[in-house]
Amino acid sequence: MADSDQQDTMLKTAAGVAGGALLFSPVGMPIVHGIAGLAVASLGLIAAGSAIGAITDNIGNAFAPKDQHHDDDFADMLDDDEE
C-alpha cells in the first residue's frame, strides 16, 4: 500500500513539473499571455459593470419622488450625530 501512495506522489510531482515546463516553453507562452489577457479583460468588465450599476441606481434615485429616495445608500458617509 505504501508503494502505491509513493508512486501516486511521484506521478503527480512529475506531471506538475512537466506542465510547468510546458507553459514556459515557446509553445506554452501564447497560452500564458492568453490567460493574462482574459484576466485583464474580465477585470475591466467587472469594473464597467460596477460603474454602470452605480450610475443606474443613482439615476433611478434622482427621478424617484423625494419621499422615496434611498438615504441608506450613503448612511455610512453621513454623520449627523457629530454636529
User: How high is the mean pLDDT of the chain?
Assistant: 79
Helices (H), 1-83: 2-23, 29-63
73, 61 Cβ separation under 8 angstroms: yes
> What proportion of the chain, given as a percentage, has pLDDT over 90?
27
Using the predicted structure, report yes or no on whether residue 42 has a pLDDT greater than 90: yes
**pTM check: above 0.85:** no
